[in-house]
Every structure is written in structure tokens, then in C-alpha cells.
């Protein structure tokens, strides 16, 4: 049964990678911190997919699969925009992560 969880998890990771890679920002401004976060997520998802497909001994359990499933659903619901993952829905108060990601300059 673990093999099936591994394959499902690898497919989820590949889907997340593709969603992040194919994100288009349209008329929005470039945000370096958000781009760096998206890049790190792409690398992490790709590394997990590659190690899973190469049958490394780290078996994927239900917990890891559930975490990746929720993150994939969140990424697809915001069309791959990592800034939108941290945007508050009800109040005007912004989180520290959102303020950092919305910055247009590095320093």
C-alpha cells in the first residue's frame, strides 16, 4: 500500500511544481521575496517527487500525503500565487509573512 501513497504523493508534488512554474502575474508588480518563496517551494516539491519516484527508503505516510494534498488545493485555489496564500480574508490587518512577501524591494 505504501507504493500507491508514494505515487500519489509524487503526482501531487509534480502538479504543485507545474502550478507554481506556470503562474503568470499579469499586470502585478514583481515581488522578489514572493518569487524566492515560490522558487523554494518548486525545488522542495521537485526534490520530494524525484526521491519518491527513485524509490528512496523514506516512505510517504498518510500525514505527508494529507499535508501535500492541502497545500496543493491551496495553491490551485489561488492559481499559484504564493502571496495570496497569506492574504487575510476578513480583516485589514496583514500578517508579517504577507508584509514581507508584498515588498517590491529586497532591502
Cell numbers given for 49: 517527487
pLDDT, tens digit (0-9, with 9 covering 90-100), for 43-69 = 999 998 898 888 765 667 788 889 889
Q: Which residue from 17, 15, 21, 12 is spatially nearest to 60, judged by alpha carbons?
A: 12
> Using an 8 Å Cβ cutoff, are 26 and 84 in contact?
no
Predicted local distance difference test score (pLDDT) of residue 22? 93
**Binning pLDDT at 50, 70 and 90, where does residue 103 land?**
confident
Q: What does the pLDDT average to over 11-33?
A: 90
Q: Following DSSP, what letter does each residue of 17-74 receive, concatenated? A: HHHHHT---TTSPP-HHHHHHHHHHHHHHHHHHHHHHTT-S----HHHHHHHHHHHHH
**Does the pLDDT at position 1 exceed 80?**
no
Model-level pTM? 0.78
**Binning pLDDT at 50, 70 and 90, where does residue 74 land?**
confident
**Does the pLDDT at position 18 exceed 70?**
yes
Round to whole Å and give the CA distance between 92 and 90: 7
Q: Which of 31-40, 73-82, 94-103 has the lowest mean pLDDT?
A: 94-103
How far is CA 63 from its chain centroid? 17
Amino acid at each position: 500500500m505504501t507504493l500507491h501513497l508514494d505515487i500519489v504523493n509524487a503526482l501531487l508534488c509534480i502538479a504543485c511544481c507545474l502550478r507554481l512554474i506556470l503562474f503568470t502575474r499579469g499586470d502585478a508588480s514583481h515581488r522578489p521575496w514572493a518569487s524566492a518563496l515560490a522558487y523554494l517551494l518548486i525545488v522542495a516539491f521537485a526534490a520530494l517527487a524525484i526521491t519518491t519516484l527513485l524509490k528512496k527508503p523514506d516512505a510517504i505516510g498518510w500525514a505527508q500525503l494529507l499535508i501535500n494534498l492541502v497545500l496543493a488545493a491551496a495553491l490551485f485555489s489561488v492559481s499559484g500565487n504564493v502571496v495570496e496564500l497569506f492574504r487575510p480574508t476578513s480583516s485589514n490587518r496583514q500578517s508579517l509573512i504577507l508584509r514581507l512577501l508584498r515588498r517590491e524591494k529586497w532591502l
